[in-house]
Amino acid sequence: MNHSEQRPDFFLNDSLSFEQRMAELFAYQVQWNPVYQRYCSVLGWSIEHKQDITTGQKLPPFLPVEAFKDATVLCTPPASHAWYTPQKDPLFFQSSGTQAMQRSKHVVLDPLLYTSSIREAWSSYFGKDNWIIWAYTPGYQDNPHSSLLYMINHLMQQDHTRLSRYLSLHEPLDLDELEQLHASGHQVMLFGAAFGWLDLIERHEALGHTLKLPPSVKIMETGGMKTFRRAISRQQLYHRLIQGFGLEPHQLVTEYGMTECLSQAYTSEGMWLTTPHWMRILVVDPSEPHRIMSCGEEGRIAIVDLANVHSCSFLLTSDRGISDASGAFQVLGRLEASQLRGCNFLVEQDG
Amino acid sequence: MPQKNTSYRPTEPMSYKKRAGYLTEQVLHWIQSEDSKVSAAIIATEELGHFHSEDIHYSLRCLEEQLIRQDLIQWVHRLKLPEVPSFESQETICCIHAGNLPLVGLQDLLAVLVSGHRYVGKLSTKDPYLLESLLGFLSNGLFGDQIQSWSRTTIQEVFEPYDRVLFSGSSDSLEHIQYAFYQSGQATPTTQWLNRTASFSLYYCESMSEFNEQKEHLIDAIFRHQGRGCRSVAVIAAPFGLNQIADHFNQALSNFFEQHPGRAVALKQTPQENRLSPKYQQAFNIAVQRDSIQWGDWSIEEHTSTHAPTPYHSNQMYWLKVDPRTLPDLIEGYGGKLQTVYTAEETHLTDPLRTAQCPALYWKADGIDTLEYLCSNTIRA
């Protein structure tokens, strides 16, 4: 298999093994992505290693996602290349944050790669039936560079009932409308970040409402813990959302994605996330990311996202996680640098 | 149970200046005398292995210099404290000694004793011997009635809660300690906390020629105590880039590690949790075309001053190329995390680089004069 025979969206072709697809993308990116090429070169990797990847003997180096803050992570093949995509109408995604913060920038040359990834994963996890999308988030127009809002907007456009919308962030949920939609046989997915849902629960509790969302309604929790005003573990969050919205476990879905990725992982029930067939999550040694941790052993989350055709498919995050034997994983939080500068009397260590 | 000093004597009226003078003599005697058991404490600290032997001796030499210079007496003069102190009440002050450097928090102990208040000490298990030796020595003298107790145990019974706590560390660790203290009755809602949370310092270098003149001071400011002190330089700001000075910097590092081979080993032994190993760090810096210098486990990398990162790991430093006019914004951006700004010579806003690791005893941690804080209930004429 070589580039000239395959379209870039071949990552969706699961008649090819994951390793074959991964090797193809590695070969493309190590050749034509200058940032990734330099990274691999220092680590002693080149296109010569393609075969090792195809046979599953080795995994390519994982590029720290911080590269998306410090450089443009983009493949720039010549126009003669089969995968050459002119930079006519690229998508430009930027991570959230203030002006003072350095933000990740992801240039997506071919929007079809992103929308294909969104639709195929959605279909795989939630079926081909129509979903109404309600988003408890800022609107896409307010934040056109958010990859999450782009995804939500795209899913809303697929809704043939035209009942999808962005919810007001200052109002409680319209429970009557949700009941009516359920009664008329519709499915509703409520998108929102963790802190948004916790605020909404508190708003309803303040109004004396006991929430019990109808069975055809699901909550999609999209992360955002690191900006939350108070410390809460994922386990506490999970139980609070179940209890606060009166959900059955299968009604709560967690989504794991980021600006630097075009694919997302989802939970089906509980706290273990799984990935679509073109994405893989590994848990690696935080300091030596070529070393893969054993099942149940905590480490740093690394991602292989084959939809990231024109940027980098092999990413090293700053998230902590664990995985199990089936490849499912949990996100445990951020991999914070412990403060080793300055005084720090730690009760557990010092007294 | 904590050691309780039983040699209580009523406090004789003594001026701050006299107290500072006697304390100076006593601590000097502890350092210099053969019968003070300080040598045994040094050996025990070396054997514990948390500190480089050179740093232990350096800390004691520094203290000796500060005392010979009469820093404690100068401290009293600078604050214009009244001749004869008159408290609203004598307070019990708990000093928490973090253990990241030898004798860390000694300034707090000295300030409490000069102030006339009672001292309770929480010693770290990383640095138990030196302070313990000094406290034992002082307890048998004039300050015996002030030194109430000291212990290596955080959670313990107390006779009455502390009036004030002097803490240095991160806000995360502060939360844990406050919880432990409240649970055990060592603190109550009326206990006052003096919290110092700054963790690193910055050197502003005006020119490349200044860099060459200051490089020995700079190396000491960086590597003394393995970079763990809040007065250690972790950020260098300059109007020129790292690549313009890289050769000189590399030469200075080479000379330093040649003269102090144990330092490189000690750096390697400092855990750098959750940080990519040097080869991955280097690969990343080259990938994003960032100038950097790497020396084993230690590195300095250039970043933009508009997105200046906060240094956490003691083996990682940052170089910021800045327009001098934006330096105040940079300093303000770091907020309470930044302890001191150094320049070649002292200004009203900066300390001289050469004093980074051995400042005057009256230096203000987090901008707060500890003795002034402790004497805040003194009735002044």
- Write out the residue limits of the CATH 3.40.605.10 domain(s) in chain B: 3-197+366-377
Per-residue model confidence (pLDDT) at position A235: 84
For the stretch B207-255, pLDDT in tens is 999 999 999 999 999 999 989 999 999 999 999 999 999 999 999 999 9
Phi, psi torsion values for A154, nearest 5 degrees:
-65, -40
Please tell me which of the candidates A102, A338, A345 has its beta carbon nearest to residue B98.
Answer: A345
Those of residues 250-279 in B touching chain A at CB distance below 8 A are: 270-277, 279
CA distance A13 to B131: 68
Shortest distance between the Cα of A208 and any Cα of chain B, in A, equals 33
Annotation: CATH topology of B3-197+366-377: Aldehyde Dehydrogenase; Chain A, domain 1 (3.40.605)
For the stretch B162-177, pLDDT in tens is 999 999 888 778 888 8
Question: Does B272 contact A340 at a Cβ distance shorter than 8 Å?
Answer: yes
- Strand pairing of A63-64 and A252-256? unpaired
CA distance B164 to B147: 15
Q: Is B83 exposed, middle or buried (CB count within 10 Å of its CB: 0-12, 13-18, 19+)?
A: exposed
Q: Is B87 helix (H, G, I), strand (E, B) or coil?
A: strand
Contact of B286 with chain A, judged by CB distance below 8 Å, is answered with yes
Shortest distance between the Cα of B15 and any Cα of chain A, in A, equals 32
Question: Token digits for B225?
Answer: 């105590």
Shortest distance between the Cα of A286 and any Cα of chain B, in A, equals 5
Residue of A150, A70, A62, A167 whose CA lies nearest to A113: A150
pLDDT at A347 over 70: no
Contact of B333 with chain A, judged by CB distance below 8 Å, is answered with yes
Per-residue model confidence (pLDDT) at position B77: 93
* Distance set, CA B51 to CA B44, B56, B355 (Å): 11, 7, 20
Those of residues 207-236 in B touching chain A at CB distance below 8 A are: 227-230, 232, 234
- Strand pairing of B92-96 and B3-4? unpaired
Shortest distance between the Cα of B272 and any Cα of chain A, in A, equals 8
Q: Is B199 helix (H, G, I), strand (E, B) or coil?
A: coil
Per-residue model confidence (pLDDT) at position A350: 59
**Partners of B238 in beta bridges:** B321
Shortest distance between the Cα of A290 and any Cα of chain B, in A, equals 10
For the stretch A156-169, pLDDT in tens is 999 999 999 999 88
Question: Does B104 contact A67 at a Cβ distance shorter than 8 Å?
Answer: no
Query: Is residue B269 within a helix (H) or strand (E), and if so which, with residue range?
Result: helix B261-269
Where residue A338 falls among pLDDT bands split at 50, 70, 90? Answer: low
pTM of the model: 0.89
Contact residues on chain B for A300, CB-CB shorter than 8 A: 274
Contact residues on chain B for A101, CB-CB shorter than 8 A: 307
Residue to mutate among B48, B273, B305, B370, with most A CBs inside 10 A, is B273
Per-residue model confidence (pLDDT) at position B381: 43
Per-residue model confidence (pLDDT) at position B27: 96
pLDDT at A133 over 80: yes
Contact residues on chain B for A351, CB-CB shorter than 8 A: 122-125, 151-155
Q: Which residue has the tokens 């906060």?
A: B310
Q: Is A340 helix (H, G, I), strand (E, B) or coil?
A: coil
Nearest chain B residue to A343 by CA: give it.
B169
- Write out the residue limits of the CATH 3.40.309 domain(s) in chain B: 200-355
Contact residues on chain B for A38, CB-CB shorter than 8 A: 283, 286-287, 289
CA distance B11 to B46: 37
Per-residue model confidence (pLDDT) at position A222: 92
Annotation: CATH topology of B200-355: Aldehyde Dehydrogenase; Chain A, domain 2 (3.40.309)
Say how many Å lie between the first and final Cα of chain B, rounded: 41
For the ranges A252-261, A290-299, B87-96, the lowest mean pLDDT is seen at B87-96
For the stretch A302-312, pLDDT in tens is 999 999 999 99
- Strand pairing of A314-323 and A329-334? antiparallel
Nearest chain A residue to B297 by CA: give it.
A287
Per-residue model confidence (pLDDT) at position B10: 42
**Partners of A189 in beta bridges:** A133, A218
Question: Token digits for A212?
Answer: 């019990």
More confident residue, A235 or A240: A240
For the ranges A130-134, A330-334, B20-24, the lowest mean pLDDT is seen at A330-334
pLDDT at A19 over 80: yes
Contact A253, A220 (CB under 8 A): yes
Rounded mean pLDDT, B195-203: 95
* Distance set, CA B17 to CA A93, B13, B85, B165, B372 (Å): 65, 12, 10, 24, 14
Per-residue model confidence (pLDDT) at position A225: 57
Residue of A249, A257, A250 whose CA lies nearest to A303: A257
Question: Does B279 contact A347 at a Cβ distance shorter than 8 Å?
Answer: no
Contact residues on chain A for B312, CB-CB shorter than 8 A: 337-341
Question: Does B230 contact A341 at a Cβ distance shorter than 8 Å?
Answer: yes
pLDDT at B88 over 80: no
Rounded mean pLDDT, A133-143: 85
Those of residues 127-186 in B touching chain A at CB distance below 8 A are: 151-155, 167-170, 172-173, 176-177, 180
Residue to mutate among B132, B156, B173, B334, with most A CBs inside 10 A, is B173
Nearest chain B residue to A67 by CA: give it.
B288
Domains of chain A (ranges, CATH numbers): 111-277 (3.40.50.980)
Q: What integer best gives the mean pLDDT of chain A?
A: 90
Rounded mean pLDDT, A227-242: 77
Nearest chain B residue to A301 by CA: give it.
B274
Tell me how many residue pairs between chain A and chain B have CB atoms under 8 A apart. 153
CA distance B150 to B138: 12
pLDDT at A58 over 70: yes
**List of residues 6+ apart from A163 with CB closer than 8 A:** A132, A181, A186
pLDDT at A64 over 80: yes
The string of DSSP letters for B323-335 reads -GGGHHHHHHHHG
Please tell me which of the candidates A100, A286, A340 has its beta carbon nearest to residue B314.
Answer: A340
Residue of A104, A141, A151 whose CA lies nearest to A256: A151
Side-chain half-sphere CA neighbours of A104 within 13 A: 20
In chain A, at which residue ranges do the beta strands (DSSP E only) sit?
Answer: 63-64, 91-94, 105-108, 132-136, 165-166, 188-192, 217-221, 252-256, 265-267, 273-274, 279-284, 299-305, 314-323, 329-334
Question: Does A345 contact B339 at a Cβ distance shorter than 8 Å?
Answer: no
Own/partner pairs for A34-38, CB < 8 Å, 24+ apart?
A34/A76, A35/A63, A35/A67, A35/A71, A35/A72, A35/A73, A35/A312, A35/B287, A35/B288, A36/A63, A36/A73, A36/A312, A36/A314, A36/B287, A38/B283, A38/B286, A38/B287, A38/B289
Rounded mean pLDDT, B110-134: 94
Residue to mutate among A284, A344, A347, A349, with most B CBs inside 10 A, is A344
Rounded mean pLDDT, B269-286: 87
Q: Is A122 helix (H, G, I), strand (E, B) or coil?
A: helix
Per-residue model confidence (pLDDT) at position B262: 83
Contact B195, B172 (CB under 8 A): no
Please tell me which of the candidates A43, A69, A340 has its beta carbon nearest to residue B279.
Answer: A43
Contact residues on chain B for A230, CB-CB shorter than 8 A: none
Contact of B124 with chain A, judged by CB distance below 8 Å, is answered with yes
Question: Does B99 contact A345 at a Cβ distance shorter than 8 Å?
Answer: yes
The string of DSSP letters for B326-367 reads GHHHHHHHHGGGEEEEEESS--SS-EEGGGSSS--TT--BTT
Where residue A194 falls among pLDDT bands split at 50, 70, 90? Answer: confident
Side-chain half-sphere CA neighbours of B237 within 13 A: 25
CA distance A278 to B355: 58
More confident residue, A1 or A151: A151
Shortest distance between the Cα of A295 and any Cα of chain B, in A, equals 19
Rounded mean pLDDT, A129-152: 90
Please tell me which of the candidates A36, A42, A339 has its beta carbon nearest to residue B312.
Answer: A339
pLDDT at A293 over 70: yes
Q: Is A217 helix (H, G, I), strand (E, B) or coil?
A: strand
Contact residues on chain A for B172, CB-CB shorter than 8 A: 339
Question: Token digits for B117?
Answer: 């208040």
**Total Cβ atoms within 10 A of residue B254:** 11
Per-residue model confidence (pLDDT) at position A31: 98
Question: Does B170 contact A342 at a Cβ distance shorter than 8 Å?
Answer: yes
User: Which residues of A lie closer than 8 Å to B, measured between beta carbons?
Assistant: 35-36, 38-39, 41-43, 61, 63-64, 66-67, 69-71, 100-102, 286-289, 300, 335-347, 349-351
At position A161, the amino acid (one-letter code) is T
- DSSP symbol at B121: E
Contact residues on chain B for A105, CB-CB shorter than 8 A: none
pLDDT at A351 over 70: no
**List of residues 6+ apart from A2 with CB closer than 8 A:** A24
Contact A317, A301 (CB under 8 A): yes
